[in-house]
Amino acid sequence: MENKIDVRNLSISFHTGSGTVKAVRDISFSVEKGETLAIVGESGSGKSVTAKAILGILAKNSIVEGGEIIYDGQDLLKISEEEFNELRGHKISMIYQDPLSSLDPIMKIGKQMTEATIINGKVAKKHGKKNFTSKIAELNTAMKAAGTDSAKADKITSELTSVIENGSAKRVAFVQAREYAESALFSCEQLITAQKKADEKLIAEELSFLKERLELSVNENLFDADTVKNLIAKLPENVSEIEKSLEDILDKAQPDFYAYNTEANTETAKALKFQFEQNLPKKKAAVEALEKALPVFNKAELNQNECKTSANETKKLVLDAIDKLTVIKDSAAYTYGSTMDASIERYFKGVTKNPKELRRVEKETAKREKLLAKKGDAPEVIPAVLVDLEMTKGTMLRAVEEVIEKYSAEINNANVHDFDAEAVRLIEWLEEQAERMNSVVTKKYAYDKAIRIMEDVGIAEPRKRFEQYPFEFSGGMRQRIVIAIAIAANPDILICDEPTTALDVTIQAQILELINDLKAKRNLTVIFITHDLGVVANIADKVAVMYAGKIVEHGTVDDVFYAPAHPYTWALLSSMPDLDTEDRLESIPGTPPNMIYPPKGDAFAARNKYALAIDLEQEPPKFRISDTHWAATWLLHPKAPKVEMPQIIKDRIERMKEMDAKEGNA
């Protein structure tokens, strides 16, 4: 399964007047395409900071101390604001906790929805054209290099361009006509309702709208002009008949708009094979250089000149070995250069700054000791702002090792490459880019799309609601509008940051069900952030439990609910009510630590009644429980005393198993 996003060793702090807050501390996770990851923890655990880092909207006082966020072959921590603007809304969207603060209070809902659709349409068109033309040029060059006659290569790529551009234009026109037909179908339903109410004004409005949408749905592959003319002539009496005709037409399978000469696939596969074989020696050279570079980055203390020289040499070799025609980007190779540059700068900048910070801490400590001796009280010393040199060194080592592993695998499995399948994938990718390039989002089309999405997210009377302001909606309805705006551009990734916190329980359930339905319908990858573990039971595939800036437990939803292993996860589950709980719920004692002064050892130790002596001295590593489940707690160490999870959780697990068994037998 393809990983849609990889977060690796992410560490983020914030400068404040009181000191530097360590908000996120060396966390790593990945989310596969079509999967939902729930990140759960109390306020201040670092959940929302992680989400904002993915979207590139961290506060100005933030410091990204280390790590990477890999999406589509690029590190989101190292791209420009302009590049981020191409991703936000179009590829990665976010639903915020407070829907009212996400909406412009003086702009009508409809305007906010259509504005987002039109802007994203323009961005998609621009990048679709750029991607398509550059890849066709690369394919032409690769065909010639593979031995295809120059004139033949030009002819094939020219015909391929023509077939894809014409096919995509026809498909885009068909899709838009089909969507206008869907709007006409919706209008039929509205007209029937208006006729039942004998609302003459609404009847006139819907008749006008229906006629216009039927005319817009004329398309050689959907509706011919005469059919539409005959349908309009039957109005307003035979609305039900028109509705049935529309349903029958919309049920038909979509035609194939792309008719390729088999030569295009053959020559494309040949070009891919040649390029792959040409790159194998380059990959071998890159692996050899990277293996020689490993010791340079694995010393107790790194040498700046050695690191820069090795990085510059290996960057060029890694970049040259990338298969440019491959449409699924190799994140390890694509991000190697930016990772090494940023890490080397961070490491040696940190080294030069460390002495100054240590002198400042030493001076303030001496001052504090004098005040303590004199007055018996003194402010705490703000810890030094230091780059974690070991973490930064680890990032460099991992970057080198990942490319070695990736390229070595390709070298060793060179004989099992399916170039015919890769050729099909490349041509399908070109189709997608051409469809983006040919898509034209008019105001009328954006309006219809907004109405359909509003209906999809469960908003009644969408045309009426389209003309209203945010303050005229309830909290639940505002959240539905925010969801509608977030999915308008069909993003890859949807981040939900506490989307149900401000809503009552009944509305919460509706919003969760809506997000689940939209995920399945649109094949979304979802990152769901919440403080309530109970919320995620029916929505998540995987769960990451966060505390004090760290992920303390990670597993599938079944792992975390049926076999929780970390005391903090136990505490969250023990404080979570369900319909059958008869025992008194347990609260979590104390408060989360002040992350200006991160505690030594396990951050949860002070609140953990199961804490061991070592918890106060040393941070626990990740203990692997199964292939899908790990937890960072010393209780999982082989020499640790056996500690049973709380009885309230055992009872709940038994109830859940009984319910699952009943549902399985039903």
Q: Which helix (H) or strand (E) holds 70?
A: strand 62-71
pLDDT band at residue 280 under the 50/70/90 scheme: very high
For the chain, percent helix, then strand, then coil, each to nearest 5?
A: 60, 15, 30
**What pLDDT score does 589 carry?**
85
What three-state secondary structure class fits 588?
coil
Identify how many contiguous H helices and E strands the chain contains and give both numbers. 21, 12
Mean pLDDT of 519-535: 88
**What pLDDT score does 10 carry?**
92
Mean pLDDT of 423-435: 92
pLDDT at residue 116 is higher than 80: no
Tokens representing 96 are 């915020």
Tokens 């900071």 correspond to 49
Mean pLDDT of 613-627: 92
User: Of 80-89, 284-293, 389-398, 575-584, which range is least confident?
Assistant: 575-584
Mean pLDDT of 86-103: 83
Q: What size, in residues, is the chain? A: 666
Mean pLDDT of 147-176: 93
Mean pLDDT of 535-549: 92
pLDDT band at residue 163 under the 50/70/90 scheme: very high
**Do the Cβ atoms of 68 and 92 come closer than 8 Å?**
no
pLDDT band at residue 665 under the 50/70/90 scheme: low
Mean pLDDT of 96-103: 80
**What pLDDT score does 386 carry?**
55
The more confident residue out of 39 and 652 is 39
**Do the Cβ atoms of 538 and 532 come closer than 8 Å?**
no
pLDDT band at residue 326 under the 50/70/90 scheme: confident
State the Cα–Cα distance between residues 552 and 562, nearest whole angstrom: 17
Mean pLDDT of 537-548: 92
Mean pLDDT of 48-56: 93
pLDDT at residue 332 is higher than 90: no
**Do the Cβ atoms of 2 and 32 come closer than 8 Å?**
yes
Angle at 227 between CA 226 and CA 230, to 5 degrees: 85
Strands 525-530 and 36-40: parallel
Residue 139 to residues 224, 269, 319, 323, 421: CA-CA distances in angstroms? 38, 10, 18, 11, 16
What is the rounded average pLDDT for all residues in the chain?
87
The more confident residue out of 48 and 61 is 48
User: Of 15-19, 173-177, 649-653, which range is least confident?
Assistant: 15-19
**What pLDDT score does 540 carry?**
92
Tokens representing 229 are 């003319």
**What pLDDT score does 233 carry?**
86
pLDDT at residue 312 is higher than 70: yes
Among 40-44, 119-123, 189-193, top mean pLDDT goes to 40-44
State the Cα–Cα distance between residues 545 and 500, nearest whole angstrom: 18
pLDDT at residue 493 is higher than 90: yes
- pTM value? 0.77
State the Cα–Cα distance between residues 47 and 64, nearest whole angstrom: 15
pLDDT at residue 557 is higher than 90: yes
pLDDT at residue 328 is higher than 80: no
Residue 292: what are its φ and ψ, rounded to 5°? -70, -30
**Do the Cβ atoms of 45 and 97 come closer than 8 Å?**
no
Residue type, 271: A
pLDDT at residue 354 is higher than 70: no
Tokens 């070595």 correspond to 408
Tokens representing 182 are 């869907």
pLDDT at residue 47 is higher than 90: yes
pLDDT band at residue 160 under the 50/70/90 scheme: very high
Q: Residue 3: beta bridge partners?
A: 32
Considering the chain, what percentage of its residues have pLDDT values greater than 70? 95
**What pLDDT score does 268 carry?**
93
**What pLDDT score does 452 carry?**
84
Indicate the burial class of 568 (C-beta count within 10 angstroms; 0-12, 13-18, 19 or more).
Answer: buried
pLDDT band at residue 347 under the 50/70/90 scheme: confident
User: Of 247-261, 293-307, 612-626, which range is least confident?
Assistant: 247-261
Considering the chain, what percentage of its residues have pLDDT values greater than 90? 39
